[in-house]
């Protein structure tokens, strides 16, 4: 549950909070008579298009699958896929690394069930 909540919060942060700085902004005059380039910040969705909403939904879907299945193998599989997604997506977008914390939470939960520290279902 904590991994899902964290994935939702991270996805919402990147969808609605300006985190991407423009590379080319307009030139504006300064007080001393010079000119400077103004770089505004955009949300990840505004900077890359609405299709990235699907990318932001992948970690939520993986955490939701693990929560719905409630088995250690499903949780481990979803965690492994989420780690792979985060590592591969980090090559194109550094924000994807933030999803590793959700994967770690799921792996700790699966490991706790396997070691008998937490109650859960085995496969």
Model confidence, pTM: 0.75
3-state DSSP assignment of residue 29: strand
Task: Provide the 3-class DSSP secondary structure of residue 36.
Answer: strand
Whether 35 shows a pLDDT value over 80: the answer reads yes
Band (123; pLDDT cuts 50, 70, 90): low
Q: How confident is the model at residue 89 (pLDDT cuts 50, 70, 90)?
A: confident
What pLDDT does residue 53 have?
Answer: 92
> Comparing C-alpha atoms, which of 90, 88, 91 is closest to residue 80?
88
Residue 76 CB neighbour total at 10 angstroms: 19
How high is the pLDDT of residue 16? 92
Radius of gyration of the chain from Cα atoms?
19
**Residue 107: pLDDT over 90:** no
Output the six-digit token pair for 44.
Answer: 């990840």
- Give me the helices (H) in the chain, please: 2-16, 44-48, 52-69, 72-90, 100-114
Q: Does 111 have pLDDT greater than 80?
A: no
Q: How many CB atoms lie within 10 A of CB 48?
A: 15
Among 25-39, 41-55, 108-122, the range with the most confident prediction by mean pLDDT is 41-55
Segment 91-115 shows an average pLDDT of 80
- Nearest in space to 41 (alpha carbons), one of 68, 61, 20: 20
Q: What proportion of the chain, given as a percentage, has pLDDT over 90?
A: 12
Asked whether the predicted pLDDT for residue 25 surpasses 80, the reply is no
How far is it between the farthest Cα atoms of the chain? Answer: 71
Tokens 């939520």 belong to which residue? 60
For residue 119, the model assigns a pLDDT of: 65
């Amino acid at each position: 549950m904590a991994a899902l909540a964290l994935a939702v919060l991270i996805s919402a942060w990147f969808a609605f909070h300006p985190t991407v700085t423009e590379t080319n902004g307009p030139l504006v005059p300064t007080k001393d008579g010079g000119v400077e380039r103004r770089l505004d910040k955009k949300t990840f969705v505004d900077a890359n298009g609405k299709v990235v909403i699907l990318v932001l939904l992948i970690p939520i879907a993986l955490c939701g699958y693990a929560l719905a299945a409630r088995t250690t193998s499903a949780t481990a599989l979803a965690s492994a896929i989420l780690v792979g997604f985060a590592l591969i997506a980090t090559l194109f977008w550094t924000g994807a690394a933030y999803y590793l914390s959700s994967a770690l939470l799921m792996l700790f939960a699966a490991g706790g069930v396997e070691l008998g520290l937490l109650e859960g279902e085995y496969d």
